[in-house]
Amino acid sequence: MAVIADRLGGRRIAVTGATGFVGTALVERLLRGAPDCSLVLLVRDGRRTSAARRTEREILANDAFDRLRESMAGGGETFEEMCSRRITTISGDVGMDGLGLNDEGREIMRTVDTIIHSAATVSFDSPLDQAVEINLLGPTRIARLCHDLGITPHLVAVSTCYVAGNRRGTAPEELVSEGPFDIGLDWRREVESSRRLRGDTEADSRRPERLSEFRRRARSELGAAGAPALAAKTEQIRERWVRDQLVTAGRSRAASVGWPDAYAFTKALGEQALVESRGDVPVSIVRPSIIESAWAEPRPGWIRGFRMAEPVIISYARGLLREFPGVPEGTIDVIPVDLVVAAIIAVAAAGPESAPFISHVASGGVNPLRYRTLVDHVSAWFTAHPLYDNEGQPIVVPEWRFPGRGKVQTQLSRAKTLIARAESVLQALPLRGERAELSATLETRRMEVERALEYVELYGLYTECEAIYQVDNLLSLWEQLDDADRNAFCFDPRVVDWSHYVNEIHLPSIIQHARVKTTPGRSRTGDRSSRLRSQVLDAKRQVAAFDLENTLIASNVVESYSWLATRRLDPMERLRYTARTLAETPGLLRMDRRDRTDFLRHFYRRYEDAPIEQIETDVDAMLTGLILRKSFPEGIRRVREHRAAGHRTVLITGALEFNVAGLKPLFDEIVAAKMSVRADGTLSGEMVAVPPTGEARAQILADYCDAEGFRLDECVAYADSSSDLPLFEAVGFPVAVNPETRLAAIARKRGWLVEHWGTSRGFSKPLLPIGPVLSEAERRRTFR
Amino acid sequence: MPRPGFVLDVDRSTPPMLFWHGEKFSLERLPADRSRVIYPPEPIAGIRDVSAAIDHALEHPLDMDPLRALLRPGMVLTICFDDVSLSLPKMRRPDSRQRVIEAVLDLAAEAGVDDVHIIAALGLHRRMHDHELRHVLGDRIVDAFGPTGALYQHDAEDYENLTVVGTTDHGEVLEINRRVAESDLVVYANVNQVAMDGGWKSLVTGVASYRCLSHHHNPESLRNTRSLMDRHHSALHHSIWRLGAVLRDHGPKVFQIETTINTDAFPSPFDFLSRREWEWTARDRATYLATSKALSRMPRSMARKIFHSIEAPYAMTGIHAGFTESVHERTLADVYQQHLVEVEGQTDILTMGVPFISPYNPDSIMNPILVMCMGLGYMFNMYRGKPLVREGGVVIMTHPTYRDFNPVHHPSYIDFFDEVLADTTDPVVMSEKWERKYAEDEWYRHLYRTGNAYHGVHPFYAWYWGAHGQQWAGRVIIVGGDAATVRRLGFTPASTMNDALELASDVVGRSPTITHLHVPSVLVADVV
């Protein structure tokens, strides 16, 4: 006789946090195991998606439901029909008073019999105020809503064993505030101060010296990317800073009052607050320990998201994390998710009358997994099934020596400092192309070390935790079940065979999830580039925009000017010109780095008084004399491949229009700097409009697409510098060509196509870009 | 008295042989008792009084009235001349074309001819740079005709200035430069360095359109050109002579002036190049050592610069003017007198050192396609009768075969290498699948017409040039080349001559006969 399913029959159960790991498993289990209940899911609206749509996409589309879906195939009612009959989604947010419900939502809530509250911010490094709003105040808000609505449903709140805090020895199933170690914290004061801290930190982040520091960091990360991009980056850095401050605040506050982190701390106060404010709403609390992949239901190894132990294990397998602190004979309290879900359902089914007030769902007391056993299993498993590095070589996992936490932290911090220093040296060098990639590699390496350091700081306490969580209440609930229920809703931690679980279920599952390289042979990054390349050249693309300097030719405006300026000089004058220009170079470079537009304006003044007729004669020769010599043949070919694919080709360059006239046959449109010509046929040295550089390029391309009826997300953009970031961000298909250090790092992070194009080999490049010596007659030719 | 060419049988006392290796040299010892070396004849003596010879040729032309009699006031006169692909290396100034054209212009001025155009007959070759025009024509002509627009280069893509003269009985359309077609008199001044040059080929290829050139510049006719140096057994030349007949019957009057030069190609520091190895003096050996050490230490671009700046002290060995066909027979006799070496029988392996230059890279880079063209196109074709190597034999070339290209001169070669050769090395397949795309490409057309680039289709022609050799040889091995590049060409890379001979043994057995074509200097083997 299936008592649980029977008791739940006809009940209306509200679930919060259904999009999470436990929530998804819970919804699946209720739909499958208790066919006569109906569900109300409280889901937050996404930024662009409605709550109902999120239910479909983020809950019901999960592979957890595959089993149910398959079992219903061919039956009378389809899975979708069953879902729409039994599930009602209401939009709400436990972080808001009244759960942010509208009238309709409130009416629906009025009809529920049971509320299972599993919404939480489980991340161990949430900002303090966020953890407080959701973990501490969430349950209380639900209780208050019930008071408002005048209902008294059974409220099952999911908490965590770790509310017991940093302690050794047994932890009973009772409220912390009622135990011997209570230090009498007032949760209201904590709420108030965390809110004030948020305000203070926000204000602090806006102080001028902070803002200028953020600006400096944004500039060093992006280079001369233009004002809007710089502003966006600065704001992003400011927000990240505020967040980091609040995360640190959470961690220190938790540590100061005896909890491992803000999560456990706010959860503990949340329980206390709920009990104080529950009124006549009956409450049961379920406290799982570390929840990991499923033992059996809906299938062995089912997991959602990348959880706490996984990144640590994967980092270890990749040889990244060589040490992880922990006590070898300590217990690592892991519990499969299906056991947690079954326990929650059993508590809900038992109802307020017979359910225990607090139940631990943990393995440490009755079926402990020793830390050393876990480590032995993991290292044996990865020795037998190694991951492979990019060269296709197996990675040998390091031997685990159970060092203290301090030692590991010191090691990692030292590595981090070293890499960061090397990185800053590389950043300062004017590198391009493949050499710039080295710095991107270093950055990846540094981020990996940083992450490892974070894991150690965050999770180290959990592996060192020596508390044993009692499960007396849970087991007495278990004793009441008959065999049918025990089969359908197994939550007895004693059933888990750890060796089988780690080797056959958990590790294979997370390896699959982590999408790491598990086969030998070279990495397929080459394939990735050619895949991106074929996307870029796909007939569906509409426009290909190209920068000129260092993207298609290895030259710049100074070179083309020098070439033109020296063309008609005799050897002695050339010498003088060269000496003068070399002397000016550092100044010009400095100006260019500061602001491209100012530099161009300043530099182009030199064309003043040049007869346009002479310039036009000479630029014809410049195509072969300078531009083609310095061109990247692969780049030129790419332009033509775009044309052949039916795309429009656009050249956007800060070079002067007449200097790029020779490239006209390659492009449908050339957007270049324009200089006005005086009535007497000489150049004025003044620009007609702002030269197209930096963020102006993104706008130019957007305007072009607008006018011609193209879509920016079907555009391809080729450029070489981080000052082109706005352009890259505007288009659907950015391609970084011979990127300098900063851009190389950004391109790698975002998965952009990177091309390394070079000038034709074996070709002697003149050291100085000066025109060839002309014959006497040609030199003396006068224009105008 | 210059010595004739001869064939040396290699024995154990024979010193190692000199091989060109691009911008370097190497000495290779050939297996004794089964190898032979063909030495070219020594340079024959030149004409002593060149000006008098020119005047004589213009006054006493073959089967035509003297030039003086053909000139009259008010007539349209066009002078065409060979481009930089001749001579190799370039001639020491004054170039024979300059001397001939100056003489013609003097006569024209005397006769009061005003309407004179001078056209570089470059076919689909690259336009010449200003300094090259000055080198070939001299400053006087360039400064007088350049600024007025009367000196220019033929443009095979300028359809407004091309016109159809007629069609041969084989359906070949003669489409040439309109100015040439509509002139009262066309004077052509050429240089015949090898037997392939001159005759109707001068005008019919030099001022033709792409459409016209494709009648004979295709895999079919080049596979049946046996050889390029023997116009009577060349499908290419047959087609050209048919087109020439159309020009003769329906086109303007042509006054052809052909000059021949001897093989004195290298100035004094490179004397050892034209000496026979066993006759090297201590000084030659020292120069060889010093030169080859220096060349192998310096960057390629510098070595290239040195070689391309060589100006050859050629001497003019003959000048004939008048009716093209009569003139050319005399010219051929002069050329053969300098080049022919009688050789008995074919060989299993032909070895040759490929130099830094081919007709398509004066002052430029010898890219991999040109290595193929020079080796299998030109050097393989240096025969009359039958090829030096037996059918199915092995050709071994020495050249560094680097993957270098000149982006100004050879833009379509770069894409040809990356795109076409990655797909096929078969001339027939590429002509059907790829040729049109390159021939009609807008960007190549732009660079050919306004820059200094070879026409887009030119790499195909360069490749077809080797079609006969490619089909004939059982294997082609390049010694000392970049392996990946050599493979892309469809050839076998080897690191040393011994490795190459080892690799060749798969095809020709363990003790093959070997013939070495001794270059520098040019020879045509008369294989009997």
- Pair (B156, B114) in one structural domain: yes
Mean pLDDT value of segment A516-533: 70
Q: Give the per-residue pLDDT at A431.
A: 66
What residues of chain A lie within 8 A of the CB of B443, using their CB?
636, 640, 665-666
pLDDT of residue A458: 67
Q: Are strands A87-91 and A114-117 parallel, antiparallel or unpaired?
A: unpaired
Which pLDDT does position B340 carry in this prediction? 93
CA distance A699 to A46: 30
B139 shares a domain with B29 = no
Of A634, A636, A762, the CB nearest to B404: A762
Could you tell me the two tokens for B211?
């459409």
Written in H, E and C, the secondary structure of B451-498 is: CCCCCCCHHHHHHHHCHHHHHHCCEEEEECCCHHHHHHCCCEEECCHH
Domain range spanning residue B498?
Answer: 6-39+344-527
Record the tokens describing residue A676, joined without a space. 């006005």
Structure confidence at residue A525 (pLDDT):
53
Mean pLDDT of B72-92: 93
Buried-state track A493-529, b at ≥16 Cβ within 10 A, e below 16: beebebeebbbebbbbbbbebbeebeeeeeeeeeeee
Residue A520 reports pLDDT greater than 90: no
Alpha carbons A131 and A147: distance in angstroms, whole number: 24
Of the partner residues A764, A772, A775, the one whose CB lies closest to the CB of residue B305: A764
**What's the DSSP call for residue B513?**
-
Chain A nearest-CA residue for B451: A624
Residues of B in contact with A782 (CB under 8 A): none
Give first-to-last CA distance, chain B, whole Å.
26
**CA nearest A89: which of A146, A48, A22, A38?**
A38
- Residues of chain A found within 8 Å of residue B407, distances taken between Cβ atoms: 628-629, 631, 633, 759-760, 763
| Confidence (pLDDT) at B35 | 95
**CB neighbour class for B443 (10 Å; exposed up to 12, middle 13-18, buried from 19):** buried
- Flag whether pLDDT at A763 surpasses 70: no
Most confident of A184-188, A689-693, B397-401: B397-401
Report residue B135's pLDDT band, with 50, 70 and 90 as the boundaries.
Answer: very high
pLDDT digits (tens, 9 = 90+) for A480-497: 888 888 888 888 888 888
Which pLDDT belongs to residue B361?
Answer: 94
pLDDT at A777 over 90: no
A515 or B84: whose pLDDT is higher?
B84
Q: How far is B301 from chain A (nearest CA, A)?
A: 5
Q: Does residue B255 have a pLDDT over 90?
A: yes
Question: Given an 8 Å threshold on Cβ–Cβ distance, is A759 in contact with B407?
Answer: yes
Residue A764 pLDDT level (bands cut at 50, 70, 90): low
Taking the C-alpha atoms of residue B256 and residue B242, their distance in angstroms, rounded to an integer, is 17
Contact B365/A763, CB-based, under 8 Å?
yes
The span from the CA of A500 to the CA of B197, in Å, is 85
Cβ within 8 Å, pair B408-A624: yes
Contact B524, B423 (CB under 8 A): no
Q: What was the pLDDT predicted at B411?
A: 94
Residue range A138-154, pLDDT digits in tens: 899 999 988 888 888 99
Tell me what the mean pLDDT of segment A238-265 comes to: 89
Residues of B in contact with A763 (CB under 8 A): 301, 365, 404-407
Token duo for residue A605: 């003044």
ipTM, 2 decimals?
0.89
Interchain proximity A633–B405, CB inside 8 Å: yes
Pairing, β A675-677 against β A683-687 = antiparallel
Q: Domain boundary at B212, B246, B261, which?
A: B261
Among B305, B405, B447, the residue with its CB nearest the CB of A760 is B405
More confident residue, A376 or B185: B185
CB < 8 Å to A774, chain B: 130
pLDDT band at A121 (very low <50, low <70, confident <90, very high): confident
Nearest residue of B to residue A766 by CA position? B301
* Closest residue on chain B to A634 (Cα): B415
CB nearest B446 (choices: A665, A759, A775): A665
Q: How far is A627 from chain B (nearest CA, A)?
A: 9
Answer yes or no: is pLDDT of B329 > 70. Answer: yes
Nearest CA in chain A to B403: A761
Which residue has tokens 């006068």?
A782
Residue A414, pLDDT score: 80
Residue A334 reports pLDDT greater than 70: yes
Range with top average pLDDT, A402-406, A623-627, A744-748, B287-291: B287-291
For chain A, give the percent of residues with pLDDT over 90.
16
pLDDT score, position A649: 95
Residue A317: pLDDT band (50, 70, 90) is: confident
State the architecture of A532-763 in CATH terms. 3-Layer(aba) Sandwich (3.40)
* Choice among A78-82, A669-673, B193-197, B396-400 with the minimum mean pLDDT: A78-82
What average pLDDT does range B376-403 have in this prediction?
A: 95
| DSSP annotation string for A608-661 | TT-BHHHHHHHHHHHIIIIITTTB-HHHHHHHHHHHHTT-EEEEEEEEEGGGGG
pLDDT of residue B464: 96
State the nearest Cα–Cα gap between A639 and chain B, in angstroms: 10
Compute CA distances A563 → A478, A619, A623, B284, B302, whole Å: 89, 9, 11, 43, 22
Q: Which residues of A touch B452 (CB under 8 A)?
A: 624
- Does the pLDDT value for residue A328 go beyond 80? no
Q: What is the mean pLDDT of residues A164-187?
A: 80
Q: Which DSSP symbol is given to A225?
A: -
Q: Do residues B373 and B450 share a domain? A: yes
Token output for B447: 């660079």
| B433-476 pLDDT per residue, tens | 999 999 999 999 999 999 999 999 999 999 999 999 999 999 99
Measure A552 CA to nearest chain B CA, in Å: 13
Q: Are residues B74 and B197 in the same domain?
A: yes
Considering the domain boundaries, does residue B110 fall inside one? yes
User: Is the residue at B282 inside a domain?
Assistant: no
Inter-chain contact A778–B130, Cβ cutoff 8 Å?
yes
The answer to whether residue A578 scores a pLDDT higher than 60 is yes
Q: How many CB pairs under 8 A join A and B?
A: 73
Q: Residue A426 corresponds to which amino acid?
A: L
Over residues A586-603, the mean pLDDT reads: 81
Q: What angle is formed at CA B422 by the lines to CA B500 and CA B236, rounded to 5 degrees?
A: 80
Q: What is the pLDDT of residue B270?
A: 83
Residue carrying structure tokens 């990749």: A318
Q: Which range scores top for mean pLDDT: A69-83, A212-226, A268-282?
A: A268-282
The verdict on B18 and B138 lying in the same domain is no
Per-residue confidence (pLDDT) for residue A224, from 0 to 100: 67
Report chain A's mean pLDDT, rounded to a whole number: 84
The span from the CA of A539 to the CA of A151, in Å, is 61
pLDDT for A784 beyond 60: no
DSSP conformational letter for A490: -
Percentage of chain A exceeding pLDDT 70: 91
- Indicate yes or no: CB of A640 within 8 angstroms of CB of B408: no
A610-667 per-position pLDDT tens digit: 888 888 888 888 888 888 888 999 999 999 999 999 999 999 998 888 888 889 999 9
Question: Are A117 and A287 contacting, i.e. CB atoms less than 8 angstroms apart?
Answer: no
Can you give the CATH number for the domain in which B213 is found? 3.40.50.11440
Residues 6+ apart with CB under 8 A from B250: B165, B166
Closest A-chain CA to B415: A637
Tokens, residue A63: 């592979």
Chain B residues with CB-CB distance to A under 8 A?
A: 130-131, 134, 139, 142-143, 299-302, 304-305, 365, 402-408, 411, 414-415, 418, 441-443, 446-447, 450-453
**Does one domain contain both B515 and B394?**
yes
B139 and B107 within one domain = yes
Mean pLDDT value of segment A206-232 = 84
Q: What is the C-alpha to C-alpha distance for residues B508 and A195, in angstroms, rounded to an integer?
A: 91
Identify the residue with better confidence: A539 or A318: A539
Token pair recorded at residue B434: 């790829």
Half-sphere exposure of B115 (CA within 13 A, CB side): 13
Q: How confident is the model at residue B336 (pLDDT cuts 50, 70, 90)?
A: very high
| B309 occurs within a structural domain | no
Average pLDDT, integer, range A774-784: 68
* Lowest mean pLDDT across A312-316, A405-409, B134-138, B454-458: A405-409
Mean pLDDT of the region B142-157: 94
CATH of the domain at B486: 3.90.226.30
In whole angstroms, what is the distance from residue B510 CA to residue B199 CA? 45
pTM of the entire structure? 0.75
The answer to whether A775 contacts B130, with C-beta atoms less than 8 Å apart, is yes
In a domain, B267, yes or no: no
Please list, in sequence order, all residues whose beta carbon lies within 8 angstroms of the beta carbon of residue A693, skipping any fewer than 6 positions away: A596, A597, A600, A654, A723
Q: How many domains does chain B have?
A: 2
